[in-house]
Structure 1
Amino acid sequence: MLRSLARERPLRLKSLPRYGQWSSPCIFVLAVIGSAMGLGNIWKFPYLVGQYGGGAFVLAYLACVAAVGLPLMVAELMLGRRARSTPIYGLLRIAREEGLSGGWSVIGWLGSVTGLLVLSAYSIVGGWSMAYVFRSAAGAFHELDAVAAARLFQELTDDPERLLAWHTLFMAMTILVVSRGVRYGLEEAVRWFVPVLLTILGILVFYAHGQPSFDRAVDFLLRPDFARLDASALLAALGHAFFSLSLGLGALVIYGVYAPERVSLLAVAPIVVLTDTLVGLLAGLAIFSVVFQAGLSVAAGPGLIFQTLPLAFGTTPGGHLMATLFFTMLVLAVWTSAISMLEPAVTYVMKRWRVERSLAASLVGVLVWSFGLLSLLSFNLWSHLQPLGSWSRLGRGTFFDVLNFFITGLLLPLTGILTAVFVGWRMSADSSRIELGGGWGYRLWLVLIRFATPVAVVLLFLQAMGLLGWEVL
């Protein structure tokens, strides 16, 4: 595989990144996979498949990934490696090299800030996952009924002190990894976490294969039901293709900064996308097999993971062990994504104020932790507050709901469209060809990033603003 990742092209004289470099192409691939694998494909993907009828949604998602996710992933990795600097300063450097306005550095600002906003909410869900590891290991899911499962989750979210403890622990774990640097922090994390995550997923699928309902889960995931593939389903697939690959968060840009010079980004991106999608499908098989076996609905929305699954695991033999493994896998998935979201802002603080990495990680981490308190309290003490109560689309939305809408509906699409325009139309083709090489793969990528990706992202933005009239869950 490593041979296929390499490419032969003249090297440019370019300084190595100040902050470190991945030790090998394999580690680089694992790091990008770890960034992409998160709540998007283990939590959200299965319940979207459940809502929109199975295999038809999977096909639509794969098409959206090919048209939007893959080109943007290549673009962000390419920008990082070309700049060899933190996203904000890196975009400024590239713009000046291209004779363009320094205002294009706004892409770096948007990505870095969005990553911190996502992490502030991500940490809350990471805390839930950690709490459920201990609950499942202690046998709390044994012979649950639907009311007890809902009450178990409600007791967690209603207790601000308990949520604060888990939120603090998760952010402390993330800060610890990032503070150790690229080689001894980020690299060691992905070197262990990603293989362990995939191993646990394999065990869960093997367990699911032994369930009588496994064939039904396969049929549900892979048999297309095109009658349910309407406009809202297509837009949901498009939005998830954007969200599930850590696009628009600055994470892929900073990981591209650390990329080895002779690694083909056009080869790495498809490997990451296919692995990410495969993980989502396998997670869906594991989840749906258990849920079907328990006679429950797979169209349970976000509650599928924290309410329906505990109920299902509690009624199956060996369920408490499998539940513990599942939530451990979820913690690792959230953790590997979280460190990639924190890294861009940490490197900016290091460069801007010339401070040590450990101090920069602590300062940025405490800032994210503090902002996360707003989301945390929106589940209990501030659940009655509706910041956009006058707007019909979010009339009953808490701060957590508003933040999620603001990120997915505005910041991520805006970062995506600016990246596509900058790379596809403003940056010279010669510059991108230096990083990506020539050939049909590069030409296809250039067509997609110039035409298909911007149109798709604009549609996503218009839908989020309610201008298309299509409702998406």
Structure 2
Amino acid sequence: MKREKFNSRLGFLLVSAGCAIGIGNVWRFPTVTGENGGGVFVLFYLLFLITMGIPVLTMELAVGRAGRASAGAAYRNLEPKGTKWHWHGWACLIGCVVLMMYYTTVTGWMMSYFVKFITGTFNGLSAEAVPNVFVELLADPFEMGFWMAVAVVLGFVVCSFGLQKGLERISKWMMVALLLLIVVLAVHSILLPGAGEGLSFFLLPDWGRAMEQGLGSVIVAAMNQSFFTLSLGIGAMEIFGSYMKRDHALAGEAARICVLDTFVAVSAGLIIFPACFTFGISPDSGPSLIFQTLPNVFTNMSGGRLWGALFFLFMTFASFSTVLAVFENIIACVMDLFHLSRKKVCIIGCIFILIASLPCVLGYNVWGAFAPLGDGTTVLDLEDFIVSNLLLPLGSLVYLLFCVSRWGWGFDNYIKEANDGQGLRMPRVLKPYFQFILPILILVILVQGLVPTITKLMGA
């Protein structure tokens, strides 16, 4: 079967950036930045994005472009005879499936809130009543299940049309709209009366605040954010490498994806901090920021119904672009493994993900007593822990070792593939760094992500 290719370079960049850009950019990056000294954190974040994120991203893309297949089949095409690197392909498929088991629910939350703002649900509600809208959503398995199903069905319908006519065409329009929306929202927030204080808190280096957190903690937080923001390690980016043309070297393409991803993350802070400081609300983290704090900001704002609707439309695009990208990876993996048609895989995949996503939905209501990682945790927390703290760092380590060790594909083959085409090239002089230092940094991220949770569970 002839391998599909992107219709344009812009299509590749926007689809790949859409995969990297997700809800973590919006509800995690601004909060972690504010907590860790503003510009101090951003400085370290950019440093680690260049020294860790871009190199590992080029490795995923290189495996995909050279192997011309999804993760498992690409490994099989490139690995030395008798080795078992292709087993990681199964881990990539499992990781993408587990990610979608909860990400579709969160995407459903975004869709639900967009509709709520459009239809005026928040009109006339008191400051105390606004946060309860989210509490009521979580308590209703039917409403949550409905919006999750909308996200799943729409995602597989788009992907069923193929790479160019489905994923690329829809993602291009959605990403352009996302970028326009975020500019409009950011400009609006910057013009609010309390914007100066919010921008200072967010962007100006505050070494005092950084020292309060501990410089080591700030560095580790920046390392984690720069690493996880690109969704590396489960083949989500590798699949787009398999659809690439050979016109451009991979370091430059990886850098452009990182620029788009960082632009959205920083712009989200430009939206959130001025708004929160203007209305005297301390920015919180996670879902409570997006679904309880910010709706109160919008309801107090002139034209808040419109601005709230635009914000959640932007959030819907950010999360749904990731859903489409990961669905494409799942579809391509199953097509390569079982030699089924795209239409058949989409039907089977849609049914499977709908069923597999139900535990996350039910974990907030019917199964609310189940706390897999300790008091106050849910099924979503468990699924996110498996993907973010285990499969992403371990998978990235596998890609790294495959590309730089003599037992895998090897550094010479990787660097030749990465530098094929025009544009920014990966220097060969970085070989010792890739072989000896980068694996240690990824292991630090893995251990730092596992130890607190394991210690907590053992203490319980």
Q: TM-score if structure 2 supplies the norm length?
A: 0.92
The equivalences for 1:358-377 within 5 A come to 358-377=343-362
Residue 224 of structure 1: which of 205, 210, 233 is its match?
205
The equivalences for 1:409-448 within 5 A come to 409-425=389-405, 426-437=408-419, 441-443=426-428, 446-448=431-433
Residue 401 of structure 1: which of 369, 381, 399 is its match?
381
In the superposition, relative to structure 1, how do residues 274 and 452 fare at CA in structure 2: closer, same or farther (>3 Å)? farther
Q: Which residue of 2 aligns with 1:305?
A: 290
RMSD: 2.2
Q: Which residue of 1 aligns with 2:54?
A: 70
Q: Aligned letter for 2:414? A: S
Residue 44 of structure 2: which of 47, 52, 60 is its match?
60
Bigger CA drift: 403-412 or 43-52? 43-52
Name the SS for the 1:248 alignment partner.
Answer: coil
Q: Which residue of 2 aligns with 1:451?
A: 436
Bigger CA drift: 53-62 or 254-263? 53-62
- Structure 1 position 291 matched with structure 2 position 271: no
**Structure 1 residues 414-444: Cα deviation after superposition (integer angstroms, max 9, x where no partner):** 1011111111223223211321228973325
Bigger CA drift: 205-214 or 174-183? 205-214
Q: Aligned letter for 1:124? A: T
**Structure 1 residues 73-109: Cα deviation after superposition (integer angstroms, max 9, x where no partner):** 11101110000012111111110xxx25431113322
In the superposition, relative to structure 1, how do residues 311 and 459 fare at CA in structure 2: closer, same or farther (>3 Å)? same
- Structure 1 position 274 matched with structure 2 position 259: yes
In the superposition, relative to structure 1, how do residues 304 and 91 fare at CA in structure 2: closer, same or farther (>3 Å)? same
The CA distance in 2 between the partners of 1:205 and 1:314, in whole Å, is: 17
Q: Aligned letter for 1:454? A: P
- Structure 1 position 93 matched with structure 2 position 71: no
By how many angstroms is 1:133 displaced? 0.2
Q: Aligned letter for 2:24? A: G
Query: Is 2:363–2:378's contact at 8 Å kept on the other side of the alignment?
Result: yes
Bigger CA drift: 21-30 or 444-453? 444-453
Name the SS for the 1:66 alignment partner.
Answer: helix
Query: Is 2:415–2:426's contact at 8 Å kept on the other side of the alignment?
Result: no
By how many angstroms is 1:330 displaced? 0.8
Q: Aligned letter for 2:314? A: M
- Structure 1 position 35 matched with structure 2 position 19: yes
By how many angstroms is 1:190 displaced? 1.9
The CA distance in 2 between the partners of 1:178 and 1:43, in whole Å, is: 27
The CA distance in 2 between the partners of 1:145 and 1:22, in whole Å, is: 49
Q: Aligned letter for 2:254? A: A
Name the SS for the 2:86 alignment partner.
Answer: helix
Q: Which residue of 2 aligns with 1:45?
A: 29
The CA distance in 2 between the partners of 1:356 and 1:469, in whole Å, is: 42
By how many angstroms is 1:294 displaced? 1.1
Structure 1: 5+ residue stretches without partners: 1-16, 389-393
Q: TM-score if structure 1 supplies the norm length?
A: 0.89
- Structure 1 position 147 matched with structure 2 position 122: no
The CA distance in 2 between the partners of 1:445 and 1:305, in whole Å, is: 40
By how many angstroms is 1:144 displaced? 4.4
Query: Is 1:266–1:441's contact at 8 Å kept on the other side of the alignment?
Result: yes
The equivalences for 1:348-359 within 5 A come to 348-359=333-344
By how many angstroms is 1:313 displaced? 0.8
**Structure 1 residues 326-355: Cα deviation after superposition (integer angstroms, max 9, x where no partner):** 111111111111111112221222233322
By how many angstroms is 1:400 displaced? 1.6
- Structure 1 position 380 matched with structure 2 position 365: yes
The CA distance in 1 between the partners of 2:228 and 2:394, in whole Å, is: 13
Bigger CA drift: 104-113 or 370-379? 104-113
Q: Aligned letter for 1:421? A: L
Q: Aligned letter for 2:221? A: A
Query: Is 1:143–1:315's contact at 8 Å kept on the other side of the alignment?
Result: no
Bigger CA drift: 460-469 or 117-126? 460-469
Query: Is 2:231–2:392's contact at 8 Å kept on the other side of the alignment?
Result: no
Name the SS for the 1:272 alignment partner.
Answer: helix
The CA distance in 1 between the partners of 2:437 and 2:305, in whole Å, is: 46
